[in-house]
Structure 1
C-alpha cells in the first residue's frame, strides 16, 4: 500500500528525486532513505577514527548520534522539494503532487521559458530549508549553518551566505510556506521511519561541530549520495510505494552496493615487525630498524620524517610504519604519494610484496597512465594476487565497478583503503576545489606516506604545509621520506602537522633545530609529545663512507668522455637538466659509438619525459631490466658496457645503478640524489671507484655561465651556491657531508660566503630568487585551504574554487630545497 501521508496537500511520496527519460520516477523520500542507509554503512568505513568520533560526539547530546548523522545525510536533497526543481520534469511532478502544486510548477516553468527567471540550485535550497528547520529545533546558529552547508554542498561547492539569502527570498523558486510545510513533513516521516524520537524535544542547542566533524559530515553526505544514486532507471519505484517496506528493501540493496566497492579496511598481520612483513630481507637496514622502533613508541598518531640516502630501504620502512600505525590506531589503510608515475609504479610493486599472501582489499594505482601499466603487468596481478589493480587516475576514467555512477568513479580514487599514486592526488586535498571535503574524508582514515619531499617546488611545498596542518587536525599519521632535506624545511613540515594537532601556531625554530647535522636520521612527533625528537641512525654498509671522486668535463666533451668510460667496460649514466641537452648528447654519443668496431660498441639508451608514452614505457622497462637490482625477477644479465642518457628521471625515478656518471651541474640535493645512482647495488668487488664528472658550468672573468635554458629549470642563485661549494672539491664523503652541504646551499644567505668576483651576479640572482619564491607562495596561498581553526566556515573550503589539477607550477624546479 502506498504511503499517502500529506501535509498542506503535498503527498510525501509525490516529489520525485530521480527521473530518467521515462515516466516512472524515484521518489525523493526513497532516495533519502537510500542515502541514509549508505551513510549508516559508511560511517565506520569511510571516515577515520578521529573524524568519526568528532562527528559522533557532535551529535551525542541527541542520543543515537550515528542514526541522526545518517538521517541528515539522507536528507541532503531536501531542496528538490521545490517548484524550481520539480519543474524540471513538469509532466511527472504535475501528476504526482496534486493540482495546486501543478499550477505553481507550470507558472514557474513558463517564467523560465520567457527568460525572466533562472534556476535556483536545489543544493542552495537545501541550505535554506535546513537552516530554518534546525533553528526551529533549537540548534544554535553556528551549528545550524555547519550542518546546512555540509548537506547543501553535496555537489562539491558549498553555497555562500549571499546565495542562500537570495534563494530564501525567491519564493517562486522555493514555493513559500506551503512547500516548506511539505519539506517539514518529509523530514518528520524519514525520522519516524528511522525510529528516532521527535527532534523538537531533543537538546539541539548542545550540538557543536568541530572542523573535523563538519568535513566528515560533508564528505559522508557526498559519497553516500553518489553510491545511492547508482540506481538503474528500471529500478525506480514510482509514487505508489509503502515506505516501511521500502526501507527494509533499501537496507539490503544499498548495503550490497557498499560491499561491492571493496572498501573494507585493511587488517595487517598481528606481527608488523619489519622481518615479519618483509621476510625476504635478510637483515633490515639501520634506518628500517630505527623507524620500526620509533613507531612502536608512538602513543598517538603523529608524523615521522626519514632522511637517509638512496638505497637505505626508506619505502619499505615507511610501509612497515604504515602497517604498525594502521593496526595500533584502528585506521583503514594507507596512501603512498610518489613524485612521479614511474616511482608510483615502483612503489605499487613494493606494496605487492608487502601484501603478498595476505587477505587485503584491492590496491588502487592513481595516476593518468595507470591503466597502461596495470595492463602490462596483469599477468602478475590477476584475481589470485593480494594486489588487485582496480583503480586509475582520480580525475579520469572508470575503474571497473559498474554500480557506481560514472562521475563518482572519477572522484573516488582516494576513498579506497589502499592506494599508491602521485603526490598530486594527495595535494588536491589542500586546494580550495570542488569536493575537497571528500578528498579530506578519504585521507582521514589512512596513513599517508610522502616520498622525495625535498623535490617539491615552492607551489607544491606551500600546499603541502597546509595539507599537513589539516592532516594533523584530523589526526592522520604521516610518514615523510627524503634523501636530502634541509633542516629548515624539515622543521616546517613537522611543525605544520603539530600545529594542526595542537590547534596552535607553529613555533619558530631554534638555532639547534636549523643545524640538524645528523644524517641519516629519523625525526618524529605525536599527539602526546611536546616537541619533535630525532634519532641518529648509522648508514648501511652500502652507503657508509661512500667517497665520490669529482672531476670536471667540458660541456662540449661530455659525449666523448661517456664513450671513453664505456669502452673501459663500464655502464655510464649521462644526466642532463634540459631535454634538448640530453637529446644532443645522445646523438653525439651514437655518432661516436658508430665509429667503434661492432664488438666494442656499448648499448646506448635515451630516456626523458617528452618521449611518447608507449616508447618511454619500453625504454624504462629496458633500463630497469638491465640496470636494476641483481635479484629482481626477470633481471637480465647486465651489459658489459652501456650508456644511458637521460634527464631528472634518472635522478629519482628508477631503482637502477651505474658504474660511473657524468652530470650537468644541478642543485646540491639533486647532485647527491644522482650520486646515489652510482653503484647503488652490490655487484661484486671488481667495480671502479665511485666517480662523478661534473659538466655544464663555465667560469668566465666576472660571470658564471650555464648551458642555455638551465636557469629555466633551476634557480640561478641555487646553482651559484652549489658551484661555490663544489668548484674546489675533488671528492665528497657521503653520507657524512650531506646535511652540511644541503644546509649551506639552502640555509640563510650569509651561511655561504660569496666567492670573490661573483658579487654582482650573486646578489642579483639572490634577489630574483627571493621575488620568485614570494610570487609562487602568493599564488599557492590564493588557492590553498584556510587554516583548520575552530571557527573555520565550511564555505571557505570551496570559496573561489580552483581546478583540482593546480598542484604544480613547474615539473622540476626547486627554488629553495623544498
Structure 2
C-alpha cells in the first residue's frame, strides 16, 4: 500500500531519510549526495519484514503536490512538532486548511506536560474542535498534573457535545419540513463516522478495562458530566492511568502496572564550583558517566569551562545555542556513547546539558546532577538515569554507581527557618512557587537524602506539587518570598499568559453566538507562521509559544579572500561556495540551511530583537544578495564570522528614552556554541 508522508518542521530538508523519499518519488536527485538515493523506502507493520507480496507492507511516498508549506499537513501521515497542532487554534491565514488536515486523522501528542499555560489555551481550543470533528486524539505523558488532565478531557468533551447539539437542531429542522437541504455526502460521512466513534469509544474502553480488571486487578471508573477527579476533589494517585472522553462522558482505566520500578536516591549539594567538582571526582573515581543538567545556557557554558579545566575526563556540552548541524552531530555522539546500544568502551565522561536531554534522546547515565526544577521535569530528567539495565545487578556500571543517584543543586541557601534562595536565572525559567513546592515534596536538605521509587511515586509527587493547599514548611509560607506570595505571583503570570493567548486564538465550537460559523475567525490575524522568510515575519511563530522573542539566522564564515564559505569546523572538505554572480547548487543550499541558529534578546545580552535584525540586514554582503535569489535562501538573515569564529556588529538599540548605540560581539565554537558580549 502506498501512503504519503510529510515531515512538518522547518528542518525537514536536512533529514536524510525524508530527502531520500522526496528525491526518489518526484525528482531525479540531481545535485544531492549519492548516499541519499540508495536507501529503502519500504516499511512493514506488526513485525512483518518478508516484504514480498505482503498486504501489510507500506510504501512511503513524499508527494510533490503535498510538499508545500501550506499543503504538507494534508498528507496521510504527518510527523511534526506540537506547534503544528496548536496553530490550528491560532488566528492566522490558512487556519481552515489546518483544520481540514486534522479532521481525517488520528492525532497523537507526546510529552504534553511540557506545555505552558499560554500554549494550553490553544491546546484546549484545538481539542474542542477535534472533539467536534470526532477526531481520535491520543495524548501521552508520564507526569501530567491532574488539573491539566481534567482540562484536556473537558475541552474535548465540550467540543464533541457542542457538535451533537448542532446536529440535533439540524435534524429537527429537517423533520419539520424546513428548507434545509440534505447534508452533502462528504459531511454526512464525517458525521456518521463521528457518531460511530462516540458510541463505540467508551463502551470498548470499558469492556477492555473490565477484562483487565478481572485479569490484573486493575480498576475502571465511568463518569458522566465533569471529569472523574473533579467529582471527589481528591488527587487521583492511580498509575498508570488511561482516561477516555467523548460527548457521552468519561472513563478512567487503570491497568495493572508492569512491575518495573527503580529506586533513586535524591540528595542536595551546595551550588558552588568546588562542591560540584569534588562530588564528581568522588563518584567517578572508578570511571563511569555523569550528566550535569543546568536550567540556563549560561550556567551550562560556565560549567563546561569549569569541568574541562578541572576534571581529568572527557566533557561534552549540549544546549540550544549550537548550529543545527552541530546539534545533530552532538545528538549522534550522545547516542553512540550513552545510548541503549552505545559503545561500552566509550561510556565514560561527563555531559553538561540544558533541558535538551529531558526528552526525545534515549541516553542513559550512571549519575545525575541537576539544577532545581518543577517536580514533573525532575522526574523526566530522572528518566535518563539508569534508563537501561546494564548487566545483572547493574554490574556493568562502576561499583559506586550501581544504585541510581540524583543530586540536586542550584539552591544557594536552604534551611528550615526561611524560604530557599535559588541560583541566579532559575526563577526566570521556572516559577518560584513550583521550585519551592518541588523542593518540599522531595524532603531533602543540605545534609539529608530521600529515596523515590519510579514510576510508583510519580502520581503522589506530581499531584502534591500541583495540587491545592500549602505543602511547604510553615517557615516557608509567609513573607515576600514565601509560598503564598509565590502562588499569587504565579497565578498572576498564568492569568496574563492566558489573556494574551486568548487575544489571538479562534473561538471554540461551544461559542453560543455563532456555533460552527467560520465568520470572524480572522478579524485579527497573523501571517501564516510557516510562510517563507526568517526575519521579522518569523516572530509570528511565537503566536503559540510565549517566550523570549527569537528569530533564526544562518551562520557562515569568510575565507582568506573575503568570500563566504561554510563553517570550516563543520564542513572541512566541502567545495568552496560560488563567488561573484555564481549561485550555490542544491547540495550547497542544503548545507547552508544546516547552519542555522536561533537568536533572542536574552542570548544577545539584552539587545532588542528589531535592533539586531536591522543591524544584520544592514551588514548583508553582496554575495549573499545573489544567494537570496534561491527560494530557500530568500530573506534569510546572515551572521558572518571571521576565521576565528567571531563577528562584530554595530546595533542601534535606541528607544523612547534616547539614542543607544551598542557594539555586539558574537563568538562561536563547536565546543561551546554561541556566546555574545555587548559594549
**TM-score w.r.t. structure 1 length?**
0.49
Displacement, 1:363? 2.1
Partner of 1:616: 327
Partner of 2:488: 767
The answer (yes or no) to whether the contact 2:113–2:144 under 8 Å persists in 1 is yes
Secondary structure of the 1:432 match is coil
Secondary structure of the 1:361 match is strand
Q: How does 1:302-313 map to 2 (within 5 A)?
A: none
Displacement, 1:535? 2.2
Displacement, 1:373? 2.5
Q: Distance in 1 between matches of 2:119 and 2:37?
A: 33
Partner of 1:577: 295
Displacement, 1:798? 1.9
Q: Which ranges in structure 1 are unaligned for 5 or more consecutive residues?
A: 1-358, 389-398, 597-601, 813-818
Matched, 1:558 2:269: no
Q: Distance in 1 between matches of 2:494 and 2:522?
A: 25
Displacement, 1:402? 5.8
Partner of 2:252: 533
Q: Distance in 1 between matches of 2:345 and 2:151?
A: 43
Partner of 2:361: 654
Partner of 1:734: 454
Partner of 1:429: 88
Partner of 1:755: 474
Displacement, 1:718? 0.7
Q: 1:794 to 1:506 in 2, by over 3 A?
A: farther
Displacement, 1:727? 3.6
The answer (yes or no) to whether the contact 1:573–1:643 under 8 Å persists in 2 is yes
Displacement, 1:412? 1.4
Question: What's the CA shift string for 1:186-215, capped at 9, x where partnerless?
Answer: xxxxxxxxxxxxxxxxxxxxxxxxxxxxxx
Displacement, 1:786? 0.6
Q: Which ranges in structure 2 are unaligned for 5 or more consecutive residues?
A: 21-34, 45-60, 166-223, 530-540, 550-679
Partner of 2:24: none
Secondary structure of the 1:554 match is coil
Q: 1:534 to 1:444 in 2, by over 3 A?
A: same
Question: What's the CA shift string for 1:746-780, capped at 9, x where partnerless?
Answer: 111x1524432442122221111010000000111
Partner of 2:382: 675
The answer (yes or no) to whether the contact 1:431–1:784 under 8 Å persists in 2 is yes
| 1:643 aligns with one of 346, 350, 353 | 350
Q: 1:643 to 1:439 in 2, by over 3 A?
A: same
| 1:447 aligns with one of 79, 101, 106 | 106
The answer (yes or no) to whether the contact 2:337–2:347 under 8 Å persists in 1 is no
Partner of 2:10: 368
- 4+ long deviations beyond 4 Å: 375-383, 399-404
Question: What's the CA shift string for 1:724-759, capped at 9, x where partnerless?
Answer: 2124351112222211111111111x1524432442
The answer (yes or no) to whether the contact 2:131–2:246 under 8 Å persists in 1 is no
Q: How does 1:59-458 map to 2 (within 5 A)?
A: 359-374=1-16, 378=20, 379=35, 384-386=40-42, 409-458=68-117
| 1:483 aligns with one of 142, 157, 167 | 142
Displacement, 1:506? 7.2
Higher helix share: 1
Partner of 1:548: 264
| 2:237 aligns with one of 511, 517, 520 | 517
Question: What's the CA shift string for 1:427-461, capped at 9, x where partnerless?
Answer: 11111111111100000110000000000011111
**TM-score w.r.t. structure 2 length?**
0.59
Displacement, 1:502? 1.5
The answer (yes or no) to whether the contact 1:724–1:755 under 8 Å persists in 2 is no
| 2:520 aligns with one of 796, 799, 802 | 796
Higher strand share: 2
Matched, 1:629 2:353: no
Question: What's the CA shift string for 1:235-255, capped at 9, x where partnerless?
Answer: xxxxxxxxxxxxxxxxxxxxx
Partner of 2:406: 692
Partner of 1:315: none
Question: Greater CA deviation, 551-560 or 433-442?
Answer: 551-560
Q: 1:811 to 1:563 in 2, by over 3 A?
A: farther
CA RMSD in angstroms, aligned pairs only: 2.6
The answer (yes or no) to whether the contact 1:548–1:690 under 8 Å persists in 2 is yes
Displacement, 1:386? 2.8
Displacement, 1:532? 2.4
Partner of 1:233: none
Displacement, 1:591? 0.7
